Amino acid sequence: MQVRKVDLDFSCAKIHWNPREPEYAQLLNGLSSGFPLLEPFLIKVVRQARALAPAHMQRDIELFVGQEARHDVQHAKFNKLLYEAGYDLQPVMNKLARSYERALEKRSLKFNLAYCDGFETFGPMLAYFFFEHAPELMAGWDEPTVYLWLWHLSEEFEHRAVCFELYQAIYGDTPSYLYRCGMMWYAMIQLFGYGLEAYKVIITKDRETMTLRDRLRSRLRFAKVFGRLLGYVGGHMVKWCMRRDYDPRKLATPRAVTWFLEDASRRYGVLDSA
């Protein structure tokens, strides 16, 4: 595991980075807008749990936090483009922020860490979608916005087992099957729910200048690509992640993930590594 010094230049980045599937791009832009809230939550929870973690996990936790902190900074930089383009995402972001504040104040460490593990279960499935199932949707790897997503999801795959192992170390060999599955779906539903709310804000503004026919085409394109994304990710979470013997350490790393991690290390350098 490595903390890479990725620092993207978004001065020439495109908000509509996939002209063939603009709704797909805007859905991911909507999801991206929530990461500067999600990543600090993950970091706070994992740091709380670190005090209870065994010695052999301390280094992995440190690298996990380093990676998530870099993701936070880069997504926040991209969010500035969305704000400057006139997308008023603050109301939906405030709603998500309040949910994380309540979780930190009122929920147990066990609940919050299980939520983090649920999100970290979702990440590798999205990485498989990006790199193996639908790579054509992420064409143009030199586009800063696309690079942001591919680098982020590659590192999500790289540290996929940290929260899983941390939960095991503190609360037992494995969380109860139903509890683990429930928290996995809870995290995914909240994330996609936020993403759809943010997408609605973004796409509503985009459609203001569209004709009726273009708006209908836009809705059809979204239904098709969202169904494809949700069907793949959700289907594989059922097929793989809901197995009683699920272990993220056993997931095969896509070749493209390995290549992309090596490319990010070469391009930007490594701040820290195991």
173, part of any domain: yes
17, part of any domain: no
Query: What's the pLDDT score for residue 178?
Result: 86
5, part of any domain: no
138, part of any domain: yes
Report the C-alpha gap between 173 and 176 in whole angstroms.
9
- Residue 174: which pLDDT band, with cuts at 50, 70 and 90? low
11, part of any domain: no
Report the C-alpha gap between 271 and 274 in whole angstroms.
11
16, part of any domain: no
Query: What's the pLDDT score for residue 87?
Result: 96
Q: What is the mean pLDDT of residues 211-217?
A: 96
Distance of CA 243 to the CA centre of its chain: 22
Q: What is the mean pLDDT of residues 187-215?
A: 95
**Structure tokens given for 95:** 């709603």
Report the C-alpha gap between 100 and 94 in whole angstroms.
10
At 124-163, the pLDDT tens digits run 999 999 998 988 888 776 689 999 999 999 999 999 999 9
Place of tokens 């704000």: 83
Q: Identify whether the C-beta of residue 215 lies closer than 8 Å to the C-beta of residue 207.
A: yes
Q: What is the mean pLDDT of residues 221-242?
A: 94
Element (H, E) at 270: strand 270-273
Question: What's the domain count of the chain?
Answer: 1
Domain holding 117, by residue range, is 22-273
At 5-20, the pLDDT tens digits run 999 999 989 999 998 9
10, part of any domain: no
Relative orientation angle of helices 22-50 and 177-206, to the nearest 10 degrees: 140
- Residue 63 belongs to a domain with what CATH number? 1.20.910
Query: What's the pLDDT score for residue 140?
Result: 72
Which residues, 6+ apart, have CB-to-CB distance to 221 below 8 Å?
A: 21, 22, 23, 24
This prediction's pTM: 0.93
- Residue 1: which pLDDT band, with cuts at 50, 70 and 90? very high
269, part of any domain: yes
Report the C-alpha gap between 235 and 10 in whole angstroms.
34
